[in-house]
Chains A and B, each alone.
Chain A
Amino acid sequence: GQQLNQSPQSMFIQEGEDVSMNCTSSSIFNTWLWYKQDPGEGPVLLIALYKAGELTSNGRLTAQFGITRKDSFLNISASIPSDVGIYFCAGQTGANNLFFGTGTRLTVIP
């Protein structure tokens, strides 16, 4: 399947700091999605991006669809303890399949 490289694998940050993570692929995607997974739960959609160059915000979260269509980033501003979890990027190609990155584990230190 498609390979999505997500970085960093894990992050430890102080409460109030900004966070940035990204996702790259060797293939072009038509759609990029960002999910968050809390411990013991399934992933929850945070942001969906549908065209190259698109920049979308959802509260303290901002994500962009890279202009090459092979990458995306997610920023979280002014982190809070409940931001803890695993963040996954996911991309969709022309086929109706979603490919997920390996995740970024975020720890916020109060």
Chain B
Amino acid sequence: DSGVTQTPKHLITATGQRVTLRCSPRSGDLSVYWYQQSLDQGLQFLIQYYNGEERAKGNILERFSAQQFPDLHSELNLSSLELGDSALYFCASSVGIAAVNEQFFGPGTRLTVL
């Protein structure tokens, strides 16, 4: 158990819908990272927040957005969902701001778009 929690574990929805994925970092960690893992793409970095502020952006689509709240939990919002958005979405947290600080990954949310 990494100490990072993600909800829900599974999510099934239809194209065009909007969903919110939630992540609670390890106690004391200020950075939260979001990753997408699909079968043919490996792990893709989406976005990082540090202490409530956006710090780094990867290959995140405009239809996706994230935020980190004062209690440090984070939410990833996916809208106008397409079939290709089906994937595992991981959240990771770390103490510091640098991506090379050890990142602890949550168990992931499996999103299926039908």
Partner-B contacts on A (CB < 8 A): 1, 31, 33, 40-45, 48, 50, 88, 90, 92, 95-103
Residues of A within 8 A of B35 (CB): 100
**Contact: B102 with A88, CB < 8 Å?**
no
**Contact: A96 with B55, CB < 8 Å?**
yes
**Contact: A45 with B102, CB < 8 Å?**
yes
17 contacts between A and B (CB under 8 A): A31-B100, A33-B100, A42-B4, A42-B107, A44-B105, A45-B102, A50-B100, A88-B42, A92-B100, A95-B56, A96-B48, A96-B98, A97-B99, A98-B45, A99-B45, A100-B44, A100-B45
Write the nearest CB–CB distance from A31 to chain B, whole angstroms: 5
**Contact: A43 with B105, CB < 8 Å?**
yes
**Contact: B105 with A42, CB < 8 Å?**
yes
Known contacts: A96-B48, A100-B43. The answer to whether A1 contacts B102 by CB under 8 A is no
B92 within 8 A of A: yes
| B42, B44, B90 interface centre (most CB from chain A within 10 Å) | B42
